[in-house]
Structure 1
Amino acid sequence: MREITIVGGVYGEVCDFPRNQTIRGSAGRSAVALASEAKTSLFAFIDSEMEREFRAICNNNNVHETLFSREDPIWFRYRHPLSSPVRYDTNKEYTLGSEVTADQCLVFGTIENRPEVHANNVVYDPQNVNTASSFSSNGSKANSVIYVVSLLEGKVLTQCEEPKNIASKIMTFDNVTGVIVKCGPLGAFVTDRNESEWVPCFPSTKVYKIGTGDIYSAAIALFHLLDGVSLRDSAWYASAAVSRYVESPIERLLFEKKDEIVNIAKRMMDQKRPYQPKSLSNKKVYLAGPFFNTAQQWLIDEARETLQGFGLEVFSPIHDVGEGAYDEVASLDIAGIDASDIVLAIVDGNDSGTLFEVGYARGRDIKVIAIAESCDEQNLTMIRGSGCGVAGDFATGIYAVCWELLADD
């Protein structure tokens, strides 16, 4: 049977909504996902609080674990799947006891000091926006290294801003044979020693984003290292795998239907290859929603900052108009809708102003995505009936806006 070695972190993860609590981390999640396709060996730290449960997870999924002791548990709390997590631990440093030697290896950056790895072929994911380091920075060596980085990680590693420049710079690192720079809803830029191309982010009906980077890197390891698929085609397959995972985040089942993932990717390749991402920076979103108490204002702020983080221009009535007389505020808000490409409406609570903004936008044939996390279905009749998209959670609604705008033109 084929073999793969995984080196990385095992941590606790809590998401407030949609509610979820699990012990995974990058290495744990990838090991569970890949165990159905290869003999999987895992090297990671664990503490006594998590050890029993995680060993049971490994045993149930045929993961061969080598776990090194750390004193305290490490947990990450996410308010929603797009939020920056809050980390809970004592910030102690740990060093893995010995180096890891393997043939095919998937390596993740860790909170603990990453062990020295010696391997034939490696897929390397730095996993840390603030302190991303190169694979060889701790003495690790491999005959071939594929880097899978987020745009922000790439910027830290190279001091470059654009995906193509980031990839070019990383290609000069020791024994690097390929680079993938992930750019959120815009897709990913992929390059090897021969060619480069963009690969789209595949749309989905739900977006549970926690762990998607882990699954993406695991898919690259599976298709490229184990199956021998070209890096560029593997990136298409990885995007398809992630689109399946975000709708049903159960890692152990993901690659059991690998053929379905490949078929999804091939259909998308037939439709979109060659792919060139469109810019979101010239698109404007009208953010509709109530802002009359702390919880409502927090959600408006969170939506605005998240959309801006994707490069979108956001018109938010409370931020861009403020409160005032109805005959002044209403006309300015309506002008904001008229000038926007899409409306993101938070409809929980059935605020009358928000519902008016939704109806006005649809009357002007402006697209609307409604976030309805706790809204009775009967209250969505006119929203659905007028052609609005409806998302059952915050992260799905944000991505739905991006995909609608990228599909325009």
Structure 2
Amino acid sequence: MHVVGGLYRELCDIPSWDATMGSGGRAALAAAALLPNVELSTFASSVDHHAVLAIQTKGIAVHTTNRASPIVFAYFHPLSAPYIEPPRGAIEGDALIKAAGEAVLRFGFLEGDAVVEANRAVYDPQTWRNPPSFWANGSTTKELALVMNELELRSISELDNLASAAQHILKKEKAAVVVVKRGTRGASVYEATGKVTHVPAYRSRKVFKIGTGDIFSAVFAVYWAEKQMPPSEAADLASRFVSAYCDTREFNFDEPSLQLREPVSSGGGGVIRLEGSIMSLGQRYTMEEARFALRELGVDVLCPQLDATVTGWNVDATLVISDGLPAQALARIAKDKDSAVPVVVLNERATAEMVLACATWTTEDFTTAMYLTAWAAGETQARRIQQ
């Protein structure tokens, strides 16, 4: 399989992460864990030399086209918006790569573009900012699958309804498949035949979000483009592999164990109560950041500390930022336990025994806490609807 995508340095403060992968590098490493004879075509600067060598040691044939400088994505945490250096506007985007293969995975680039020729191609545009058509630069393929998230799909189609947007793109792009990544909701697979399949997200003990979309696209390409598996089955395997990668950030996938991965049995949504303290600037920042992250995951958030005018706290799950909790919050958390409301505790420092006793899940990681809570809320809502 031939992967065509970016090689970018990634930095993250919490949790600590420093690796030069990007969409192309990560996807090639994921594919090489499942297939022999993987190729990567990418742009690289002289500073990226050691990263290229590291990828080559995995048996991947790397073809590089020169760029002036490295490109760095810096995150405070995996759900934060990255700082990009050089800034997008300062990156020249007119360089060109040409690549061919029976099965090709093409990503969008910051610093250029790729013209590909394939029997089966998977295209992940990697941006909602006016993403170009697969065909616009002269790329060709006999069968095309597009993999994108909901924001990218709606931006390309200019339609809000997910199914209508997918059908529009299937026709516009002459695609066989459109796979829509939906975060905590899993993924939806739309085929030109009219078949629609919804694939669940799968649980992981930890959630490291940087690059999970790259893993999904890579695994989908392996099984659909290379092994010619039905797209719904390829997407389900991709979702399982994402779960495994979130746990370890490694590429030593154990395919048999993937069948043991637990699906998240919800369609997303739900209402979450966020508990914490806002007495200090750091506490207030964490609470605001958590509320924003949860809303980005598609759930409604109520917060007694930040929403003083809101009354009524019936919720599907509770997230506790355990740092100086006021007495009223402790009382509400105790009531949650009595009412069988799932409670997720972000426990970055010593936590009161009473809070830990009420916890359904406890984690020290911010991103993991957001996902555990969103999953719990969605599952509670799904059970309530079924009753």
Q: Same fold (TM over 0.5)?
A: yes
Q: What SS does structure 2 have at the residue aligned with 1:176? A: coil
Q: Count residues in correspondence.
A: 377
Indicate the RMSD between aligned Cα atoms, in angstroms: 2.1
Match of 1:54 among 51, 55, 62: 51
The structure whose residues are more often helix, as a share, is 1
Please give the per-residue CA displacement for 1:357-376, whole angstroms capped at 9, x wherever unaligned: 4224323433211111x224
| Residues 5 and 340 of structure 1, relative CA distance in 2, 3 Å threshold | same
- 1:22 corresponds in structure 2 to 19
- Paired residue for 2:198? 198
Report the equivalent of 1:325.
none
Alignment match, 1:329: none
Q: Which residue of 2 aligns with 1:230?
A: 230
8 A contact 2:271–2:377 mirrored in 1: no
- Check if 1:219 corresponds to 2:209: no
Deviation of residue 106 (structure 1)? 0.5
What is the distance in 1 between the residues matched to 2:93 and 2:301?
43
Corresponding residue of 2:146: 147
Match of 1:45 in 2: 43
Contact 2:75–2:83, Cα closer than 8 Å, also in 1:
yes
Preserved contact between residue 96 and residue 113 of structure 2 (Cα < 8 Å): no
d(CA) in 1 for partners of 2:207 and 2:268? 21
Write out per-residue CA displacement over residues 265-324 of structure 1, whole angstroms, 9 at most, x where no aligned residue: 7x86xxx9xx8x5351xx3211111111221111111111122223322112233117xx
Are 1:311 and 2:286 counterparts? no
Single out whichever of 232-241 and 174-183 deviates more from structure 2: 174-183
**Structure 1 residues 99 and 52: CA distance shift in structure 2, 3 A:** closer
Higher mean displacement: 29-38 or 216-225? 29-38
Counterpart of 2:114 in 1: which secondary structure? coil
Contact 1:180/1:188 (8 A) holds in 2: yes
Q: Distance in 2 between matches of 1:14 and 1:239?
A: 24
Change (3 A) 1:77 1:336: farther
2:369 alignment partner AA: G
Conserved? CA contact 1:286–1:336, under 8 Å: no
Aligned-partner residue type, residue 368 of structure 1: V
Secondary structure (helix, strand or coil) at the match of 1:208 reads coil
Structure 1: which 5+ residue stretches go unaligned?
323-331
- Are residue 71 (structure 1) and residue 68 (structure 2) matched? yes
Name the residue aligned to 2:341. Answer: 366
- Which amino acid in 1 is paired with 2:257? E
1: distance between equivalents of 2:379 and 2:303? 23
* Matched residue, 1:326: none
| SS of equivalent to 2:26 | helix
1:346 to 307, 321, 327: 321
Percent pairwise identity: 28
In the alignment, structure 1 residue 392 sits paired with structure 2 residue 379: no
* Alpha-carbon separation, structure 2, partners of 1:293 and 1:385: 26
Distance in 2 (CA, whole Å) between partners of 1:35 and 1:278 is 32
Farther-moved stretch of structure 1 (361-370 vs 102-111) = 361-370
Secondary structure (helix, strand or coil) at the match of 1:400 reads helix
Aligned AA (1:406): G
Secondary structure, counterpart of 1:43 in structure 2: strand
Tell me the distance in 1 between the aligned counterparts of 2:304 and 2:173: 51
1:10·1:23 contact (CA, 8 Å) conserved in 2?
yes
Q: Which residues in structure 2 correspond to 1:394-409 (within 5 Å)? A: 394-408=366-380, 409=383
Deviates more, 1:97-106 or 1:178-187: 97-106
Q: How many Å apart are 1:191 and its aligned residue?
A: 1.6
Aligned equivalent of 2:272 = 285
Which structure 2 segments of 5+ residues have no match?
Answer: none
Structure 2 counterpart of 1:39, one-letter code:
N
Q: Is the 8 A contact 2:216 2:238 kept in 1?
A: yes
Quote the offset at 1:384 in angstroms. 3.5
Contact 1:131 1:156 in 2 (8 A): yes
